[in-house]
Amino acid sequence: MRALIQRVSEASVTVDGEVLGEIGAGLLILICAMQGDGEVQADRLAAKIAKLRIFKDDEGRMNRSVTDIGGSALVVSQFTLAADTSRGNRPGFSSAAAPEEGKRLYEYFAGQVAAQGIAVAKGRFGADMKVRLLNDGPVTIWMDTEN
């Protein structure tokens, strides 16, 4: 699985003018299931993200996790994280999981983040979403269970 994680002061996701999910301080997690991914990868990634120390401590050092600060997570599916730009100018997405499996793993991953004790808001898989965020730092981290 691939994830792009952003430390945010706030974030929201809207579909057709309706706000589906919004959070205050926490993490915006853009997530993509890749071919061959399963629950093992989702479990590992959710646990790693929950413990990722990217929030400031009292001395201003990145030493706290989202759980340490009582933050939330906005989990948004984004198959474009599977983009292959090695040939030509049009990205290919054939390495992304099939839509049915991608949706299942997206929902499962969001559930595993919640199981870590993090309040989770979500987007809608496959929808044309508008995501708003105020990146704090900025702090943006790329994670891939293949690495």
The dihedrals phi and psi of 146, each to the nearest 5 degrees, come to -70, -25
Q: Would you state the pLDDT for residue 147?
A: 75
145 falls within a domain:
no
Q: Which residues pair with 75 in a beta bridge?
A: 29, 122
77 falls within a domain:
yes
What is the total count of domains within the chain?
1
Q: Is 85 marked active-site?
A: no
Q: Alpha-carbon distance 113 to 108, whole Å?
A: 9
Q: Is 78 marked active-site?
A: yes
The boundaries of the domain holding residue 50 are: 2-139
Say what the pTM is.
0.96
Whose CA is closest to 78, among 93, 66, 64, 88? Answer: 93
Q: Is 80 marked active-site?
A: yes
- Select which of 6, 41, 55, 78 is catalytic: 78
CATH assignment at residue 115: 3.50.80.10
- Select which of 6, 41, 79, 109 is catalytic: 79
Find out whether 22 and 74 touch, Cβ atoms under 8 Å: yes
- Select which of 80, 85, 93, 125 is catalytic: 80
147 falls within a domain:
no
Q: pLDDT per position in the chain (147 positions), as tens?
A: 999 999 999 999 999 999 999 999 999 999 999 999 999 999 999 999 999 999 999 999 999 999 999 999 999 999 999 999 999 999 999 999 999 999 999 999 999 999 999 999 999 999 999 999 999 999 999 999 987
44 falls within a domain:
yes
